[in-house]
Structure 1
Amino acid sequence: MKVTIDIDCTPQEARTFLGLPDVQPMQEALMRQMQEQMSANLRAMDPETMLNTWLPMGLQGFEQFQKLMWSQMSNAMGGATTKDGKK
């Protein structure tokens, strides 16, 4: 014998029926607090500080990465010259 029961209820009604706590107010408060903290951090950072945070090595790191990519491409192409004219 097979019995199927379909229950049509909202997630909130299911949580209440099962005796689970209502965590929605806590989630809303945490999200509001996180949003305020992120906004305060963004307001406090000037563009240079943000750039230094995102790119710790700054432009030197980007230049090193660019040189690495050029050398890898030139090696893959059989030792062709780079844009400096060096091999």
Structure 2
Amino acid sequence: MKINVTFDMTPDEFRQVLGLPDVKTLQQEIFNQMVEKMQAGEEGYDPLSLYQPMMKEGMNAMGQFQEMMFSMMSGTKSDKSDS
């Protein structure tokens, strides 16, 4: 038996249904800060420095997810203790 369900939603509506946060204002603030610093010609300004904290956390989360999936596939438990 095969059942197909179709939802006609906008991305914003889908995000709300899943309970995901609206990060549009955060993204706009970060973009505005980048534009201000670029226009001011701030010496030594690195646009990547604004995203660095978020990127590090994202990469850590991805690594932890991969470790979990590998341990589930191999049937072993991770040696690391969760804190």
> Normalising by the residue count of structure 1, what TM-score does the alignment of the two structures yield?
0.46
Q: Which has the larger radius of gyration?
A: 1
